[in-house]
Amino acid sequence: MDDWFPPALKLMTRAIEVGGIAIIVLGILGASLAVLWQVLHGRSGSDAFTLYRANVGRAILLGLEFLVAADIINTVAIEPTLQSLLILGGIVLIRTFLSFSLEVEIEGRWPWARHKSDEERPSNGTA
């Protein structure tokens, strides 16, 4: 491989990691400003809190996706060792569990319950 490729790949991986962290931080700041706006304009505290949790959860989920992508690139392209692969597996398992938990918190139901509620609604608009 060319001499420039490994350093460029490391730089790209770091940029993706920084992007994931920035998404999380900016998402939390944006959710905080949005909830403040909602409260100032008369929305109830519990509604604003529910909206805040959902927006923060979405920001964390998106940021985690970027961080997992950076870990995959790092493991596959930069350090392809058995130890780094095992560490990546552990990180992906933990982040998958976190993503699943956050999704349940955001949606307020289990993922398999979403299909049941869709089936309960009539498809042609009649009861």
Q: Please give, one letter per residue, the 3-state secondary structure of 4-59.
A: CHHHHHHHHHHHHHHHHHHHHHHHHHHHHHHHHHHHHCCCCHHHHHHHHHHHHHHH
- For residue 125, is it within any domain? no
pLDDT tens-digit series, residues 31-83: 999 988 888 888 777 888 888 888 998 898 899 889 888 888 888 877 778 88
Query: With bands split at pLDDT 50, 70 and 90, how would you rate the model's confidence at 127?
Result: very low
- For residue 126, is it within any domain? no
Q: Say what the pLDDT of residue 30 is.
A: 95
Query: With bands split at pLDDT 50, 70 and 90, how would you rate the model's confidence at 106?
Result: confident
Phi, psi of 2 (to 5 degrees): -65, 160
Question: What pTM value is reported for the model?
Answer: 0.72
User: Percent of the chain having pLDDT more than 70?
Assistant: 87
- For residue 35, is it within any domain? yes
For residues 16 and 66, is the Cβ–Cβ distance under 8 A?
A: yes
Q: In whole angstroms, give the CA distance from residue 96 to residue 85.
A: 16
Q: Say what the pLDDT of residue 22 is.
A: 97
- For residue 46, is it within any domain? yes
- For residue 51, is it within any domain? yes
- For residue 113, is it within any domain? yes
The pLDDT mean for the chain works out to 82
Could you list the beta-strand ranges (E) of 25-124.
none
Range of the domain at 34: 5-120
- For residue 127, is it within any domain? no
Q: Number of folded domains in the chain?
A: 1
- For residue 82, is it within any domain? yes
